Copies of this chain bind each other. A is one copy, B any other.
């Protein structure tokens, strides 16, 4: 039963509950017009205390395509925060106006606090460098749609694996399905944190850490590229030195399998060359579309509309 639930962490929902969402997303993908009025007269509030056009648009388009409507802010400056109000109070007020709330916040844990005070479902749309569960749902739905399964896959994650929360969440989420293995491709300075590998070891899940993309790309079912996020670096020099190390291009794509797919949470800033865009294995823009569909399914389920 997903009605009335919050989504704060990518593993808040069981694999069975995720299947319920993904199955419904599949229905929507097959005939979106059928669901144009599913959430008529419902209101989504988008509280973005940190700007993110992409994520906000995806949620808003999802709600609008279900017939619902949206109130929101896209930057903290125009919010009551300036008047010193607590998240708890803001959320209880917004819940007077809206039926479901999406929150992005620079502080880890803010959406969890919000959920503790909210009488309506709260979706975490990113809290600092911490969690971004709907990105993980997007990733899983994309893989499931293309590979027709979430098991037995070799998943490569490439780039900034230290600060990239989407990768941490994807590894955690994909670890719940049997027989997946992970290939972690990054410079030593940007390896996944120890707790991630410790968790994989504890669960007996196979993984390897490598430094060169070209040596392993041929083994992969999924190549998940990540942006080198300038804002996560402590100094400019490190950023400049490392940002271009792991660039995927048409040349490297020649080493990959015919059925490997390239994913990326976007935005990219150079880590995938433009000559990859026309490759049929490039899935990052399709992935953005899956993101809208999975959010349509999620909103419908949390509102109890389906």
Contact = CB atoms under 8 A, between A and B. Distances in A.
Given A285-B93, A292-B97, A71 B77 contact: no
A82 interface: yes
Nearest to A66: B41
Interface stretch (A10-18, A51-59, A249-257): A51-59
A144 to B, nearest CB: 18
Copies of this protein, total: 3
B96 A80 contact: no
Nearest to A46: B71
B43 A93 contact: no
B43 A61 contact: yes
B61 A267 contact: no
Nearest to A88: B274
A51 B51 CA distance: 17
A67 B42 CA distance: 10
Given A97-B292, A267-B84, A269-B83, A61 B71 contact: yes
Interface string A43-81: 101001001111011101100110101010111011110
A119 to B, nearest CB: 10
A266 B69 contact: no
A125 interface: no
Contacts of A92: 285, 288
B266 A93 contact: yes
Given A75-B77, A84-B269, A41 B51 contact: no
A36 interface: yes
B74 A288 contact: no
A98 interface: yes
A268 interface: yes
B64 A71 contact: yes
Contacts of A41: 33, 36, 65, 67
Contacts of A43: 61, 64-65
A258 interface: no
A268 B61 contact: no
9 contacts: A51-B82, A54-B93, A58-B97, A60-B71, A61-B98, A75-B77, A80-B267, A85-B269, A97-B292
Interface of A: 33, 36, 40-41, 43, 45, 48, 51-54, 56-58, 60-61, 64-65, 67, 69, 71, 73-75, 77-80, 82-85, 88-90, 92-94, 96-98, 227, 229-230, 266-269, 274, 285, 288-289, 291-292
Given A41-B67, A60-B97, 19 more contacts: A41-B65, A51-B78, A51-B79, A53-B79, A54-B93, A56-B71, A57-B93, A58-B97, A73-B74, A83-B230, A83-B267, A84-B230, A85-B267, A85-B268, A92-B285, A96-B285, A96-B289, A96-B291, A97-B288
